[in-house]
Every structure is written in C-alpha cells, then in structure tokens.
Structure 1
C-alpha cells in the first residue's frame, strides 16, 4: 500500500527549517534550467535569501547541533549501542560546529551580488523581469547553457554547508519519532504531549485525505479533510500513523 507522510511543525524554528529545506530541494532540482523557466529558479533563490535575512538561522542551527551532540554523548555509555558509530557521529558534529561557527553571514555573497540583486528587485513587479526591464538578465539567459550552469553551481555552493547541516539536524529529529497507529472518528484527533517540535502523519494515499493541524508544542489537534468534496463523511473512521519528534 502506498502511503503519504505529512509533516507539521509545532514551533517557529521548525517551521523556518522546513521551509528552508523545501526551498533548497527545489533549488537543486531546478538548478540547470532553460531560458523559458529561468524565473522559477530565481524566485526560489530570492525566497531563500529572504528567509535567511529575517531569521537567525546560524544561531539556531548551532544550538541544535550542540544539543544533538550532547544527546549522542549521553548515549555513548548505554549498553548495546554501537560506540564506534556514535564516536564517528560526534566527530562529525564537532567538525560541523567548527565549520559553521567560522562561516560568515549566510548568503551574504549572494545578497551582495549586483546581478542577483537586480533580479530580486524586479521579481515583485508583474512581468518585471521582461527583457526591456532587465537587458542584463536577457543577455545572461542567452549565454551558452554550460556557462550558465557553472555560474549557478557557484552560487549554490554558498548553501552547501547549510544544506548538509540542515539535513543532518532534521534527520536526527525525524528519527526520534516512532510511528504509532491510531483510528479517528468524526475526522478529528486531539493529543496532549510533551515538548514536541514536529509531528509526522502517515496516511494511505488512496484515502485522498489530508490533515489540517492546529496547536503548539504540548497540545495539538488534527482534522482530516477530503481532497474532493464527498470523498468521505464525518462518520467514516480514518486509520493513520503518528510520529512525535
């Protein structure tokens, strides 16, 4: 049976990280674009820079890396653990902390790039990146594909460490949550929990239902809604799995 996993953050920090993860994935997926779909990449790049400008991403990630490292250290003396693997992970975290702490302001090189800045300033104007508005952009788009690809790869290299660290942090957080089965009636489920950063909801894809989540770290509710009106009624029982991370 095919399943779909929905993730919902329960605090602002996790909400920001998931958005950055989404944008980075989309950027790398669309990094080698054609002239006709170039604006998608620059919209994504501009949104990522906007999030980085408005949040203390570096400070929050450093705190999380240190907290996860301390958890690994606390597990090292437990019976039955793979101490060699844990030591390798701790060394990797030490390296991350050193590299990221010495890193300059995230995305600063791209924020100072005149070419990118010119495009970002026009993106909010409908049709603002037309050839007569941005002749420089029009010229760049007509450069050979390989030339543009090299430039884009150079830009994205500025996010390489952020991408690696964020993947490591989120993987650690996700793995802390174990899925448990539940059945809800009236399409509604409510839970009171401890300090939870992220909930993951796994549902059969053929159910054509999606969760609408509200709440915070200690108390939240889930309402299941149909993709199409009339797919199910409020009396239908919905089976799902929930992981609290």
Structure 2
C-alpha cells in the first residue's frame, strides 16, 4: 500500500518536512562514504532552516504535555494496559525533558561555527563546494569515515530532541484516525467537512495502481483528484473509478 499524507495546517506541514529531513540525515550519516556524509551535512543545514522557528520547541512541548494529560486520564482503566500506558508516558516525559534542556535558539551552536556556515553559504551556489572553493572541506571529506561520523554526530546531537518530540506527535496523529474504504467516481472525490476538525488526511492506494492523489482542502470541503503519473511529461487526470482509503487524523 502507498500512503499519501496531506497536512491541513502549517504546523503539521513543518513537522512532516522535518520528519523527512531527519530520516535522510540519519540515513546518510550512518554510511561510510564521503558523498553520503556530504549529503547528511547539507540536510542538517536544511533542518536548521526549517526548525529555526522560535515557537517550534514550545509547540512540541505544549502538544506533548497535552497528550500526557490525556493519557493520564486512562490510569486505572481496566481496558488499557498499564505497562503500555506507563511506557508511553515515560517516552513523552523523556522527550519533553530533552526539549526543555535545549538552551537558546535552535541550532545557535551551528550558526556560531564559522567553518560550517562557510560551507552552508557556498552550498547555496550550484557547484559551490568544489575543492578549489573550500579546500578545508575537501580535506574533511578525505578524512577517515569514523572521524567524519564523529563530527556529524557532534553536530547533530543537540538537534535530536526535536526529532524525538515530533516523532511522538506524528505517531499519535497517525494513530488517531480510522481508515474508510471509498471509491472515487471518474477519478474524483469530494467530502463535505461540515465543521469536522482535522489536522491531516491520509490517502492510501494499492501499489499496483498508477494513480497519485492531488489534494486540496478548506474548512468546507476536501477534494481529491487522482492523476496518472508521467515521469516524462505532465500528469494526466484519470477518468476511471478508483478504490482508496481515506483517514482523517486529529489530535
């Protein structure tokens, strides 16, 4: 199954972007290759850009506290596993403590590193990090893989509490809805919101179905139009009926 997620507010949009960036950074940083470590560092710069919003840490802490209070209400509920509940509460409390321990502006320690900021500035120029532009960076890329990875871990570590917090919030968000099997007539589907509050929708299609949902939404309606993907040109609207699953997610 292929899942397509569509955020319905800017806060969830930012969290989904950060989730994607963190996944890429952690993936490439675990490798041994110089090019992979180069991508990991550039992705860290992207995270710095997206996470630079002053209210991001506060938003995450407030949402985690709200979820903690909600879970506390399930204490002594015979239908809820106390072990699972305690584990979830512990995870939330650890993430909140790590976020609370983040001092100052997010990523300020990176901004104060002139060497890293020189790389970040040159990376914005196509081909700007060639060896003749940044010989010291070229030297770093030629170092032992373990030495490079140690540096990357040092630079990434202070940013990881953001990843821990958003991972919990998005996991709870994804688990909040129930998938409904539907059929799009002629490749189109419309749902009247009728005051329904949602922060994200998920559209799931079979992997063998050549269809990509184009989603638009406002407070009145959700519209989905399925397109036939074309990697050599412009996607075309499909006119056939398609089965899919739709989930409204809200915390």
Q: TM-score, normalised by structure 2?
A: 0.88
Shift of 1:192: 2.9
Which range moved further: 39-48 or 118-127?
Answer: 39-48
Greater mean alpha carbon deviation, residues 61-70 or residues 47-56: 47-56
Tell me the distance in 2 between the aligned counterparts of 1:92 and 1:54: 24
1:87 aligns with: 86
Bigger mean CA deviation after superposition, 3-12 or 43-52: 43-52
**Equivalent in the alignment of 1:42:** 41
Shift of 1:90: 2.4
Contact 1:9–1:198, Cα closer than 8 Å, also in 2: yes
Distance 2:188 2:97 in 1: 46
Whole-Å separation in 2 of the counterparts to 1:53 and 1:88: 30
2:243 to 236, 239, 243: 239
Q: How many residues align?
A: 242
What are structure 2's unaligned runs of at least 5 residues?
none
Q: Which residue of 2 aligns with 1:186?
A: 186
Contact in 1 for aligned 2:37/2:148 (Cα 8 Å) = no
Return the offset for 1:96.
2.6
- Separation in structure 2 between the aligned mates of residue 88 and residue 232 of structure 1, nearest angstrom: 46
CA contact (8 A) 2:227 2:236 kept: no
On the 8 A contact 1:197/1:217 being kept in 2, the answer is no
CA–CA separation in structure 2 for the residues paired with 1:85 and 1:218? 38
201, 204, 217: which one aligns with 2:203: 201
Corresponding residue to 1:215 among 217, 220, 238: 217
How far has the Cα of 1:231 moved from its partner? Answer: 8.3
What is the CA–CA distance in structure 1 between the aligned matches of 2:191 and 2:32, rounded to whole Å? 44
| Secondary structure, aligned partner of 2:208 | helix
Instruction: Rate the CA distance shift 1:9–1:244 in 2: closer, same or farther, 3 A.
Output: same
What is the CA-CA distance between 1:211 and the residue it aligns to?
0.7
Shift of 1:72: 1.1
Question: Aligned partners of 1:21 and 1:192: how far apart in 2?
Answer: 30
TM-score by length of 1: 0.90
Question: Which stretch of the first structure deviates more once superposed, 170-179 or 47-56?
Answer: 47-56
Query: Are the counterparts in 2 of residues 7 and 201 from structure 1 also a CA contact under 8 Å?
Result: yes
Contact map agreement 1:203 1:239 (CA 8 A) in 2: yes
1:39-93 Cα offsets, whole Å, 9 max, x none, are 4223212111111124521011012111211221233355522234223322432
Is 1:159 the counterpart of 2:159? The answer is yes
Matched, 1:224 2:222: no
Look up the match of 2:150.
150
Describe the shift of the 1:161–1:125 C-alpha distance in structure 2 as closer, same or farther (beyond 3 A).
same
Deviation at 1:206, TM superposition (A): 0.8
User: Which range moves more in the overlay, 21-30 or 152-161?
Assistant: 152-161
Q: 2:226 touches 2:238 (CA, 8 Å); kept in 1?
A: no
